[in-house]
């Protein structure tokens, strides 16, 4: 078993741009969204952001499906 000191939050996922499985750096971003204009409420939604380490393509996906 090989161990790496590299504690990058890497994950192998399919990249649409590369059209193959590549290493992605995964992070979580909190974005503020306005829900409705009427009540002027904001919700803070966590997004999972994946960045392809090969081509730099980023994709984000909402973590809460409310």
Binding footprint of Zn ion on the chain (CB under 5 A):
15, 17-18, 22, 52, 54-55, 57
CA distance 54 to 57: 8
Q: Of the two residues 17 and 33, which places its CB atom closer to Zn ion in the complex?
A: 17
- Closest approach of Cβ 10 to Zn ion, in Å? 13
Residue 27 contacts residue 49 (beta carbons within 8 Å)? yes
Q: Of the two residues 5 and 19, which places its CB atom closer to Zn ion in the complex?
A: 19
Q: Of the two residues 45 and 51, which places its CB atom closer to Zn ion in the complex?
A: 51
Handedness of CA 55, 58, 63, 65 (dihedral sign): negative
């Amino acid at each position: 078993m090989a161990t790496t000191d590299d504690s990058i939050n890497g994950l192998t996922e399919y990249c649409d741009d590369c059209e193959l499985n590549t290493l992605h750096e995964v992070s979580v971003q909190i974005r503020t969204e306005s829900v409705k204009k009427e009540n002027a409420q904001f919700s803070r939604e966590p997004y999972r952001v994946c960045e392809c380490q090969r081509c730099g393509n980023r994709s984000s996906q909402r973590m809460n499906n409310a």
